[in-house]
Structure 1
C-alpha cells in the first residue's frame, strides 16, 4: 500500500526512544522528511545518520519539552530545513511512578507542562498551515492507563487522559480542513520505559524483574510484549493518505491487554 507520505514533512517527538525512533524510521522509509525531536542529542543524531545512510532525509533537533517558549523557534528551524509540518507525532516521556494521592503540586505542574501543555502548544503552532493546505495529521501517543488506570502511575493516568479529551475536541474542529487527530495507546511494548517500570515494580514488591515481567506477559492475550515496529506501523497508517477518514479515534496497540470494550 502506498501511504502517500512521499514529500511530506513529519515531526516525531521522543524520537530518541524506542517508540519514537521506530515511528520516525518507519515514516522515513515511506518517503517522509523526518524531524527528530528529543532531549537526547546523541540518540537522535545516531538515528538521523541511520535514516540518511538508507537514503532518507532527517533533521536531528534537540527538543526540550519543558521549554515551552522555545517551541516556535524549533518549528521555524524545521520549516526552514524540511518545509511545513504535515504530520505531527506527539510522543512524550512519562512522569515518575507515583500514587495519585499526596504528590507535590510542583510535580503536577512540571509534568503538566512537559506532557500536556507542550503538546497543545506545539500542535497550535503547526496547525494553521495544515489547515491552510487542507492536509494534516495530529497523532498523540498516550498510554493504556487512559482506559484502565495503571497502579502507581497516578500522574500519568490523569494527565494523559486530558490529552484524549483535547484530541477528540480538536478532531471535530479541524475535520473539514482535511486534518485528522487521533490517539494511539501502547500496551506493554518492549521499550526502555517498560523495562524501567518493571524494575521499579520489582523493587517496590521485593521480587525479581523476571517475575514481574512474566506476570505481566501472562496478562497479555497474545502472550508477549509488543515490538516497537508493530506500534510504529499503526502510527504510520494513521499518518497516511488512506487514513483520511479516521479521526477522533482512540486506537489500542496492546495485544488485547485492555479487557474492557
Structure 2
C-alpha cells in the first residue's frame, strides 16, 4: 500500500472517490440535499471542500496499491489552526509577541525590532527612514509618501480602502490582519464559489453555511487535526484501505484528532482507533453525526 499526499491535479479524482463512496450517507443527504446529477453535485462539493480546507491548510492523503496506480482511497485532514494570540500579545503588553513589547515598540526599551523613538521620528537613522520620509516631505522613503500611505497616490502598500479590507489587496482583509479570519481561507472560498453553487444552488448556500456552523460547534478548543472526509473506491472496499489511511496519519500527528462519524459502522471503526464520542450533533433522526476525539 502506497500512501502519499495528493497533488493539486489529483484533487478532483479524490473528490470523485469520496463522492461515490459516501453517495448514500444519511448525513450527507442532509448536508447536501439532492439536486440534479448527484455524482456531479457531490464531486463539486468535495472538490471545493478540499481546495478550501484540507488541501489548503493540511493534507489530502491518497492510497494506491502500487506506484503509478489509480487512487483507491482518500482522507482529507485539516491541520491544527494556530492558537490565537491574546489582545495583550497583539498590543505587546505581554510576551511573546512577534513585534515585542510596547516598550520595545516605542523605543523605551531596547533592542526593539522597529527601533527607538528617535529612529521612528527620524532624529536618528532608523530602519523605517526619517519623519520627513514618512510624511512624504523627503523622497524616496521605504514606505512611500503619506499620500501613498493613505491611498491618495499609488503606493507599495495599496490604497486606504485596501488597507481597511474594503477593496481586494495582497495582504488580505482587515479581519485577516487582525487574526479574525484565517489567512487565505476567504480567498479560497471565493475561488470555489462556482463549485459551491453547483453543489448547493444559489439559494442553498446560506442554509449550507448554517449546517456547516452547526456541525463545527463541537470542535475542541485546543489545536487539533480534523478528518473532514475519508472514503474508499467502491471497487476497493474490504481491503483495509480505510484503516491504512487512518493509521498512516494518526501515527504521524501529535495533537488530538477530531472527526464526525455519520453511521454506527463508521463510529465503531473510529473507536478502534481510539476515538471517543464527545457530542451528538444530530442532523439526522438517529442522532448522527456524532463528534469524536482522540487524545
Q: TM-score, normalised by structure 1?
A: 0.29
Which protein has the larger Cα radius of gyration, Structure 1 or Structure 2?
A: 2
TM-score (norm 2): 0.26
Identify, as 1 or 2, the structure richer in helix.
Answer: 1
